[in-house]
């Protein structure tokens, strides 16, 4: 669906399978961008004309102003974010090339197929859910929710625009989720190192302590030191591989922020404005027994929770890596090479935090979600008091 909407270039699937040189699909991306801009301009002009010609008694001043603000931000966001996502979609082959390099270092062949299969099923399920929910909400809004000032054509254009924006976010969340799976697998490897070390150390340590106690009883010696040579040593090269993998994953995160950060910024702002305006409409419509704006309010808030939670989860894996490395540094059987590589890995994790931002203006995480929720609640209380 993202390729059909022009958000992803058509070349990267062929290049990944056949290993060919990337083709230049810039003309196709430009055509998609021009079509998107023309669609937004025509839709916005038609919407403004419908609002302007509506009877003032049917559409009071405050509600009319709120509609002007909502549709202006909606179409500006669609034209800006979609066009930028289309033009920057040619960077997807570079993203996949980086991810393929990470997979070759991190996974075995059967693991790569399993992880990619799960990722594909998750992406297909997410696209199907988004399509079904968008269709049901659009059906309720276009055919069941009656507005005299809003003809069917205007509502259809609005639903198509919202769907375009939603698919851009689905593409962004998919890339974040794929990167997060690689960080999680790297943490699993670190956890296995700790488990393996603890198991070996506990067994060998118990044997050594038991032998020491027998020796103390037989020779009547006060104490005997347990030498670290009894413990199994790590292979420092595996930690160096993890540092290389981490470096490539950080490059992928930087590419995602660079490619889609500008697209996420207007969409996130539109979600915030859309939630506030939908809340404004909901307070007026609930008195008449209508629930159209309430449905949109719930959908907008779910999208905001989705994009904030998945970015927060991806960032928290970096903190987990730091804790695992610190635990490994506390092991008794580390040789100097292990200690050096782990210290470099810890320093690398500290200096390169994993953060997904909207054009580097604010970080997308649960703290951002809490701040937005506080603003929405404050606005809701203010509207209720003034009403």
Q: What whole-number distance in Å separates Cα of residue 216 and Cα of residue 224?
A: 7
Beta bridge partners of 357: 363
Contacts of range 247-251, beta carbons closer than 8 Å, 24 or more positions apart: 247/348, 248/98, 248/101, 248/102, 248/105, 249/102, 249/179, 249/182, 249/183, 249/186, 250/352, 250/354, 251/98
| Half-sphere CA count of 359, side-chain side, radius 13 A | 10
Residue 146: per-residue pLDDT: 61
- CA 101 from chain centre, in angstroms, equals 21
- Flag whether pLDDT at 378 surpasses 70: yes
- Flag whether pLDDT at 137 surpasses 70: yes
**Tokens in use for 371?**
């701040």
Interaxial angle between packed helices 61-87 and 26-52, expressed in degrees from 0 to 180 and rounded to the nearest 10: 180
Give the residue-averaged pLDDT of 364-386: 82
- Flag whether pLDDT at 369 surpasses 70: yes
Residue from 260, 258, 265, 237 nearest 345 by CA = 237
- Flag whether pLDDT at 177 surpasses 70: yes
212-225 pLDDT per residue, tens: 455 445 555 444 44
The pTM score is: 0.76
Q: What is the DSSP letter of 355?
A: -
Residue 196: per-residue pLDDT: 55
Residue from 292, 298, 297 nearest 138 by CA = 292
Give the residue-averaged pLDDT of 22-34: 67
pLDDT band at residue 163 under the 50/70/90 scheme: confident
58-85 pLDDT per residue, tens: 777 777 887 888 888 888 887 777 777 6
Residue 89: per-residue pLDDT: 61
Q: For the chain, what percent of residues have pLDDT higher than 90?
A: 0
Residue from 300, 299, 302, 303 nearest 274 by CA = 300
**Domain parsing of the chain, residue ranges:** 90-386
| Half-sphere CA count of 25, side-chain side, radius 13 A | 26
Q: State the virtual CA torsion across 333, 336, 338, 342 in degrees, nearest 10.
A: 120
């Amino acid at each position: 669906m993202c390729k059909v909407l022009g958000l992803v270039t058509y070349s990267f699937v062929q290049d990944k399978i056949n290993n060919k040189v990337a083709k230049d699909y810039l003309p196709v991306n430009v055509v998609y961008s021009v079509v998107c801009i023309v669609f937004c301009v025509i839709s916005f002009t038609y919407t403004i004309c419908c609002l302007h010609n509506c009877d003032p008694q049917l559409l009071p001043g405050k509600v009319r102003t709120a509609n002007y603000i909502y549709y202006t931000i909606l179409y500006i966001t669609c034209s800006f974010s979609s066009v930028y996502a289309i033009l920057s979609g040619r960077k997807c082959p570079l993203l996949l090339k980086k991810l393929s390099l990470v997979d070759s270092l991190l996974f075995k062949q059967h693991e790569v197929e399993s992880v990619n299969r799960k990722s594909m099923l998750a992406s297909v399920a997410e696209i199907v859910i988004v399509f079904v929910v968008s269709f049901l909400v659009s059906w309720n809004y276009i055919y069941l929710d009656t507005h005299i000032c809003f003809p069917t054509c205007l509502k259809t254009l609005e639903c198509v625009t919202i769907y375009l924006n939603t698919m851009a976010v689905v593409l962004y969340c998919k890339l974040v989720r794929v990167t997060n799976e690689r960080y999680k697998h790297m943490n699993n490897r670190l956890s296995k190192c700790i488990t393996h070390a603890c198991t070996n150390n506990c067994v060998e340590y118990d044997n050594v302590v038991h032998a020491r106690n027998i020796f103390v009883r037989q020779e009547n010696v006060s104490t005997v030191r347990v030498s670290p040579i009894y413990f199994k040593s790590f292979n420092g090269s595996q930690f160096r591989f993890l540092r290389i993998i981490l470096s490539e994953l950080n490059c992928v995160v930087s590419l995602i922020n660079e490619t889609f950060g500008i697209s996420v910024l207007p969409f996130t702002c539109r979600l915030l404005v859309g939630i506030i305006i939908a809340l404004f409409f909901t307070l007026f419509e609930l008195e008449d027994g209508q629930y159209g704006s309430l449905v949109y309010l719930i959908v907008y808030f779910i999208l905001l929770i989705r994009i904030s939670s998945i970015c927060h989860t991806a960032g928290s894996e970096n903190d987990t890596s730091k804790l695992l490395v610190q635990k490994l540094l506390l092991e008794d059987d580390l040789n100097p090479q292990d200690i050096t590589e782990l210290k470099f890995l810890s320093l690398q994790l500290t200096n390169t935090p994993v953060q997904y931002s909207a054009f580097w203006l604010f970080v997308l995480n649960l703290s951002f979600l809490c701040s937005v929720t506080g603003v929405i609640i404050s606005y809701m209380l203010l509207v209720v008091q003034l009403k």
